Chains A and B, each alone.
Chain A
């Protein structure tokens, strides 16, 4: 059973490769660290695997919504235990615009950090986190593996974050 981090907790920092290197053996050229995105809302979409049809649908749907997320000052990152080369092929095949991070080595480390690693299957759970500009988790959800969660709760959370912005929360 997974035990995801809860709303209100500080999102732990991590760094993962976001792009495949030119050739195997070469270090990953680009990586993403959560702290680089401070000041922005971040959506972490953990998913079990590239290529399985349910994930394809989920990421395809999110891909179509990147503009909506952007309007809410949010960046979506996909995370699975697939390697960077697998992500690259998958991204090109599905025309995906978001970054896909490889939680590949050590396997599942970040998924475990967020409490959403399924050790039995050896993959990440299908889990969503929305993290606000200050790095605080504002939404946390683990979906049944076979059900795509959709983006309704993500959008609702982002709306709440953006509406409260500047309203009496400072000072």
Chain B
């Protein structure tokens, strides 16, 4: 059985937290409107706190627009915030406010984060961000993303339960499969 592995390495196109030379890299493919991703957001934050500089985290877009009508515009908002150096602030704000991802809400979050509002409003119309999101989606599809969120630990898809302590242990060891032979 072929295991699912990342086809696109973490690189300069990614939004990254943590040091480049961290022994463990966690990649999430997520959707800002997905409630499971909202739950995972807190879990990942907690693990980041516990592992500190031992883990690097990258977030990639995988909006399931057929079931989540606001997922794409929310992803665009985060990418547009990134253009002003505030990707993670917007990423966090979106996951903390999943119940309202309307166009108006997105503009107000941008204002709260101190973004240049005119710039932001024009950026969210920019096709470049949609292309970036599509590229994320494509790399996810080819890497075996099988739902949202999907996690990859050091390039290998994590098929265990991310709600359990196993996830932390897998990240601590840097291996998606605890008993991999």
One of B41-49, B62-70, B101-109, B124-132 contacting the partner = B62-70
Q: Is the CB of A61 within 8 A of B66?
A: no
B46, chain A: closest CB distance, angstroms? 23
Interface 0/1 of B128-147, CB less than 8 Å to A: 00000000011001111111
B135, chain A: closest CB distance, angstroms? 13
- Give the chain B neighbours of A151 by CB distance below 8 A: 141, 144-146
Majority-rule SS of B interface residues: loop
Per the CB 8 Å criterion, the residue count for chain B at the interface is 21
A45, chain B: closest CB distance, angstroms? 12
Per the CB 8 Å criterion, the residue count for chain A at the interface is 23
The CA of A54 and the CA of B147, in the complex, are separated in Å by 8
Q: Is the CB of A148 within 8 A of B146?
A: yes
The CA of A141 and the CA of B1, in the complex, are separated in Å by 8
B3, chain A: closest CB distance, angstroms? 10
Interface 0/1 of A85-129, CB less than 8 Å to B: 000000000111100000000000000000000000000000000
The CA of A95 and the CA of B67, in the complex, are separated in Å by 7
The contact of B144 among A68, A96, A150, by CB within 8 Å, is A150
The contact of B147 among A57, A96, A152, by CB within 8 Å, is A57
Majority-rule SS of A interface residues: helix
- Give the chain A neighbours of B67 by CB distance below 8 A: 60, 94-95
The CA of A58 and the CA of B147, in the complex, are separated in Å by 6
Q: Is the CB of B64 within 8 A of A152?
A: no
B58 within 8 A of A: no
A24 within 8 A of B: no
- Give the chain B neighbours of A68 by CB distance below 8 A: 138, 141
- Give the chain A neighbours of B60 by CB distance below 8 A: none
The residue of chain B having its C-beta at the shortest distance from the C-beta of A58 within the complex is B146
The residue of chain B having its C-beta at the shortest distance from the C-beta of A65 within the complex is B141
B56 within 8 A of A: no
A147 within 8 A of B: yes
The CA of A96 and the CA of B64, in the complex, are separated in Å by 12
B91 within 8 A of A: no
A73, chain B: closest CB distance, angstroms? 17
B180 within 8 A of A: no
Interface 0/1 of B67-106, CB less than 8 Å to A: 1000000000000000000000000000000000000000
Q: A147-B159, A152-B141 are in contact. Are A60 and B146 (CB under 8 A)?
A: no
- Give the chain B neighbours of A61 by CB distance below 8 A: 64, 145-147
Q: Is the CB of B141 within 8 A of A149?
A: no
Q: A150-B145, A151-B141, A155-B142 are in contact. Are A64 and B4 (CB under 8 A)?
A: no
Name 10 A/B residue pairs within 8 A (Cβ), A-sorted. Answer: A57-B146, A60-B67, A61-B147, A64-B65, A64-B137, A68-B138, A96-B66, A147-B146, A148-B146, A151-B146
B contacts, CB < 8 Å to A: 1-2, 4, 7, 64-67, 137-138, 141-148, 150, 157, 159
